[in-house]
Amino acid sequence: MKITRIFLLVIILAMLAPVPVQAQTSQPPATVAAILSSMTPEERVGQLFLVTFTGTDASAASQIDELITRYHVGGVVLLAQNDNFLPAPDTTSGTHALIGSLQQLEWQASVNPVFNVATGQQEKAEFVPLFVGIAQEGNGYPTDQILNGLTPLPSEMAIGATWNSDLAMRVGEVRGRELSSLGFNLYMGPALDVLEVPAVSGGDLGTRVFGGDPYWVGEMGRAYITGLHTGSESQLLVIAKHFPGVGGSDRLPEEEVSTVRKSLEQLKQIELYPFFAVTGNATTPESMADGLLVSHIRYQGFQGNIRATTRPISFDPQALKQILALPQFSTWQANGGLVISDDLGTKAVSEFYASGGGQFSARTAARDAFLAGNDMLYLGNIISNDFPDSFTTTTSIIEFFAQKYREDPAFAQRVDESAARILTVKTGLYGNFTLQNALVPAFRLSNLGTATEVPFEVARNSATLISPDLQDLATVMPLPPQADESMVFITDTINIKQCAECLEQPSLAVDALQQTVLQLYGPQSGNQTNNFRLASYSLQNLETLLNGEETPFIEDDINRADWVILSLTDAAQGQASLISRFLRERPDLLREKRVILFSFGAPYYFDTTTTSKFTAYFALYSKQPQFVDVAARLLFQELSPSGASPVSISAVGYELNSVMSPNPNQIIPLFLDLKPVVTGTESPLTPEPTPIPLFEIGDTIAIRTGVIQDRNGHSVPDGTVVQFSMKLTGEGAGILQQVDAVTTQGVARAAFGLDKPGLLEISVVSEPAVISEVLQLDVSQSGAVAVTVVVPELTQSIEPTPETIPVEVVDAYITKDGYPRFSAWLVAMLFLVFSIWVSYSTGIRITDRHSAFRWALGIALGGLLAYNYLAFGLFNSMGWLTISGLSGVVLFVFIGEVLGFAAGWVWSRQ
């Protein structure tokens, strides 16, 4: 009996023990196991690595050929900085050809034997198609790698400013279709970071994020990923970044390893929420990310101890495994989700490992990242201190891993697990590993770059008026520029290149807005303006002017202009500070002019003082041509701004948490939560109307709200608290039941049991929205009754503005009706006694005792009469100024004393 109890206890404890992450990894399919068993250790190790190379040469003598055929790398990432793309107009066709050549190199390695240094034999490799990846985030340079030939898609923040997940999906569809047509099968994005507190001075991710609310970032990310999968016909793996979220960082992840002070519980509420949405909480297979790109970020207080700081998560096995053990991630990973390290070749990684005077060993960094829990390692342009270049560094890492595989069985098992996961994903992409399946036909290139209607729709729906308020815009800008008015355009522009040998091209042309205005409103399009009334300059020209250097024409043109239009794309090089300096130092140039700012970047780079100097401040969030087009239409008032910022803007008091709370000026709809009536779609008969439900005592009534809106007119985030109340009216009135619920897709649900007769009313509140429709039903009658919906009137704003909130100031000496309090009486009497003593003691020194007495008596009577005048309210009744505070009481008593002293002095002279 005792042994049985011990045995049962052991079983219970075993069931309660946490399941390790690796234990949740399912066995690979039989086809994958067969492929893996036929691979050499070098081939298995090679599958772990995503590498880069320089140029477009994929011949047998190239370095990338050696990495593919000899080192069997799992994938390649193409970068503009490595000159992997040809100049226009050959950019897309050259990319398609290059990717095809890379896959053919992998095929040739399986056909032609290659000498294996480790075994000393010629061996044929197993053909496994390469991952070919790219980070094409949108918004052109520097976040796009391909600058020409594709549809110019917007930044993530521009998508977020539409608050429309359908547009996010459409953008993803275009991106997925075009990249897969080129041959890419790995997309490193989207960024699911939450920009909770924007960095006004720059240094954050800027427009590379969907927004600052975790729910909406998750919704947009889920829709975007769905579009990527559907547009590519599931031929593009989506690797969401920068896991577990760098939105709270104050510096770019590739520049420096930043430290964020947050615990795991806090991360689950904000940073991790969007990643939950596209992994374990994904609503469809298409909305699920295929992998996570693990960033190099540290957390202080991760375990709750504020004095403890993790290593960068990508290198910290304890912290990363603790995050991946969360239910949403463990289930996703067990079903084949890949974990990929972010670029190990960044400045941030090398400086972290070399901190304290040490040397950066790339092999150590790669080993640490792999053992931390990453399945694949993105090496990037990694250069170790002990090797001369990226190629030799990369080969040394792979050789180190292969050697360790042969020497360390535990390491070999870990490699086999990750290699099996990688092969499983690749079989999901291609089915059979054949060259024909890996290559993309060239005819798919014909439709590239043609979906321009999608970015225009995003631009039109994202354009946001930052300042002034929309109702004030007609006052400060009643008319668009007139035909006889002059305009000066000052634009933030830099020259960029697709490759080192390519011709320069502007990121945003200095005259881009001017040319768009002429195209839409010039002599050929309504003649609302003319070229001789327009002039364009760069921010560099403006800086030269402010520095007092010779700058032809710009000062004269600004002096003559009626409109000064400023265009900003970024703040990384101090552009926002330069504009603020211009407004501060040269107000003489801007007097009686309309100053318009178009921000084609993030909307939060100016303080309140600078913002107040703009006639109008619009945010476009992206510098692609369609957004310049919308800016011109906003200037000429052809369009009205309909977007809303997805991040907080402190300068104008726009706080996202407040904006996304329920709008107090709404009537929350309330409905019976009825099951939909299913009818045969092929029936020729007219369907019967839905029967009206009847209720009686003992029934349960199910209720749901309509979509509860936030202050921007969108549905409130999931998890918004809603309180349902059922109350009894008439005799014995009171609340019978209250149910707290939370919203899903803006709708909350509850149910009440009808266990008491009477006239019942059901209503709902979601602070600060406190008005809802009311459901009434009278269950005091015999039999069942129907529900009546009562819609109240919303006559005025429910939420008082700061100006309408009365503030009562309580005076310690005077009542609000103008009467002295006891404290005022006490001070007045002390002052009167002091005055009497001074008068009498002075009088007996300069005259006789008789006269001194009359002076003191006059002061006493005058002071007392004056105080009583206040105490009985006679002062206020005469319409004099209201006495406020102790000084008024003392002053009034003193005047009475002076008059009394005068009367006593006259009396003493008789």
SS (H, E, C) 599-616: ECCCCCCCCHHHHHCCCE
pLDDT at 115: 61
Tell me the β-bridge partners of 568. 599
Q: Which two tokens stand for residue 408?
A: 């360390």
- The residue with greater pLDDT, 54 or 251, is 54
392 φ/ψ angles, rounded to the nearest 5 degrees: -65, -35
pLDDT at 526: 85
64-113 pLDDT, tens digit each: 999 999 999 999 999 999 999 999 999 999 999 999 999 999 999 888 76
- Rounded CA-CA distance 538/546 in Å is 13
Please report, for residues 46, 565, 637, the alpha-carbon distance to residue 478 in angstroms, rounded to integers and kept in the order given.
65, 16, 10
pLDDT at 779: 77
- Whether 132 has a pLDDT exceeding 90, the answer reads yes
Average pLDDT over every residue of 675-687: 54
pLDDT at 16: 35
Q: Identify the top-confidence range among 617-621, 737-741, 871-875.
A: 617-621
DSSP run (H or E) holding 619: strand 616-619
- By mean pLDDT, which of 149-158, 348-357, 491-500 is the weakest? 348-357
122 φ/ψ angles, rounded to the nearest 5 degrees: -80, 125
Please count the other Cβ atoms lying within 10 Å of the Cβ belonging to residue 61: 7
- By mean pLDDT, which of 30-39, 534-543, 556-565 is the weakest? 30-39
- Confidence band for 847, pLDDT divided at 50, 70 and 90: confident
Please count the other Cβ atoms lying within 10 Å of the Cβ belonging to residue 280: 18
- Confidence band for 799, pLDDT divided at 50, 70 and 90: very low
pLDDT at 874: 62
- By mean pLDDT, which of 6-20, 485-499, 529-543, 673-687 is the weakest? 6-20
DSSP run (H or E) holding 789: strand 788-790
- Confidence band for 899, pLDDT divided at 50, 70 and 90: confident
Q: Mean pLDDT, the chain, as a whole number?
A: 86
- Rounded CA-CA distance 32/422 in Å is 9
Share of the chain above pLDDT 90, in %: 61
pLDDT at 873: 64
- By mean pLDDT, which of 411-420, 451-460, 582-591, 695-704 is the weakest? 695-704
Q: Which two tokens stand for residue 82?
A: 């490595």
Average pLDDT over every residue of 697-709: 88
303 φ/ψ angles, rounded to the nearest 5 degrees: -95, 10
Average pLDDT over every residue of 206-233: 95
pLDDT at 805: 35
Average pLDDT over every residue of 709-716: 90
Report the b/e string of 879-907 with b at 16+ CB within 10 A.
eeeebeebebbbebbbebbbbbbebbeee
872 φ/ψ angles, rounded to the nearest 5 degrees: -90, 5
- The residue with greater pLDDT, 775 or 49, is 49
pLDDT at 854: 82
| Residue whose tokens read 């202050």 | 711
- Whether 740 has a pLDDT exceeding 70, the answer reads yes
822-844 pLDDT, tens digit each: 777 778 788 888 888 888 888 77
265-316 pLDDT, tens digit each: 889 999 999 999 999 999 999 999 999 999 998 888 887 777 778 889 999 9
Entry pTM: 0.81
Task: Please say whether the beta carbons of 568 and 601 come within 8 A.
Answer: yes
- Confidence band for 318, pLDDT divided at 50, 70 and 90: very high
pLDDT at 332: 95
pLDDT at 690: 55
pLDDT at 875: 58
pLDDT at 557: 94
- Confidence band for 22, pLDDT divided at 50, 70 and 90: very low
- Confidence band for 853, pLDDT divided at 50, 70 and 90: confident
pLDDT at 324: 95
What do you get for the CA distance between the two ends of the chain, in Å? 123
Average pLDDT over every residue of 697-723: 89
- Rounded CA-CA distance 907/902 in Å is 9
The single-letter code of the amino acid at 835 is: S
- The residue with greater pLDDT, 878 or 773, is 773
345-399 pLDDT, tens digit each: 998 899 888 876 778 899 999 999 999 999 999 999 999 988 999 999 999 999 9
Task: Please say whether the beta carbons of 499 and 86 come within 8 A.
Answer: yes
- Confidence band for 883, pLDDT divided at 50, 70 and 90: very low
- Confidence band for 807, pLDDT divided at 50, 70 and 90: very low
- Rounded CA-CA distance 544/395 in Å is 49
Please count the other Cβ atoms lying within 10 Å of the Cβ belonging to residue 404: 18
Q: Identify the top-confidence range among 181-190, 245-254, 294-303, 571-580.
A: 181-190
How many H-runs (helices) and E-runs (strands) does the chain carry?
A: 31, 28
3-state secondary structure of 286: helix
110 φ/ψ angles, rounded to the nearest 5 degrees: -85, -15
- By mean pLDDT, which of 66-80, 595-609, 659-673 is the weakest? 659-673
pLDDT at 761: 87
- Whether 20 has a pLDDT exceeding 70, the answer reads no
- The residue with greater pLDDT, 867 or 775, is 775
Q: Give the strand order in the sheet containing 774-778.
A: 734-742, 721-728, 759-765, 774-778, 788-790
pLDDT at 402: 95
Average pLDDT over every residue of 122-146: 90
Residue 820, classified by CB atoms within 10 Å of its CB into exposed (0-12), middle (13-18) or buried (19+), is buried
Angle in degrees, CA 31, 36, 37, rounded to 5: 100
- Whether 116 has a pLDDT exceeding 70, the answer reads no
